[in-house]
Amino acid sequence: MALVGASMIALGGVVPTLALGPFELLPPGAEGETLGAVGERLTSSSPAPWVPYAVAVLAVVVAWLALRWLLVQGRTARVPSLRLDEEERGHTDVAARAACSALVREVCGYPGVRRGRARLTESERHPCLSLELVLAEDADPVAVWRRCRADGLARLRDSLGLDRLPTVLRLSVSGQPTGRELA
């Protein structure tokens, strides 16, 4: 993206210089005119004097929209903290990272779970959970999901005081079994 931006800036400086500047692309008297002469002819024969201003305004609007889009790409939907309760004298916040770490520690203790990662997204009041687990080759994914839902997610919902916690679960399998013998 930086390379594209740098090339666009370079082109933005070169094109006007070629069109209006002292450079002649073709020698005078050759098959055509210089690019500067063509630019002069186009700007002098313009039917409306407001056209260059309209083009400049349009360029500024497009540049602003492109900058806004670029800044939005850098944002994440990650929630930094969750508000547990709010009273007259204050409120209680908990770091979302701490809640996710506790969940991952618990879930990584389940049979067949090698490692995990969790993050809360969306909003402070109505978060969503993204849970990624890496399972051993011989793990039962259905059993892991049931235990996560019944134990880990239920405990997280209770501790955060949430009635519901929409969750996206991504399971992947590593190439090594846990060492348990399959029956």
The two tokens of residue 104 are 């991952």
Give me the tens of pLDDT residue by residue for the chain, a chain 183 residues long.
777 778 777 777 776 666 665 555 544 544 555 666 656 665 665 566 677 677 788 888 888 898 888 888 776 667 777 766 666 777 777 777 888 888 899 999 998 899 999 888 877 777 888 889 999 888 888 999 999 889 988 988 888 888 888 888 898 988 666 555 443
**Inter-residue contact 128 to 162 (CB < 8 Å):** no
Q: Roughly what angle, to the nearest 10 degrees, separates helices 35-44 and 2-20?
A: 80
pLDDT in tens, 19-38: 665 555 544 544 555 666 65
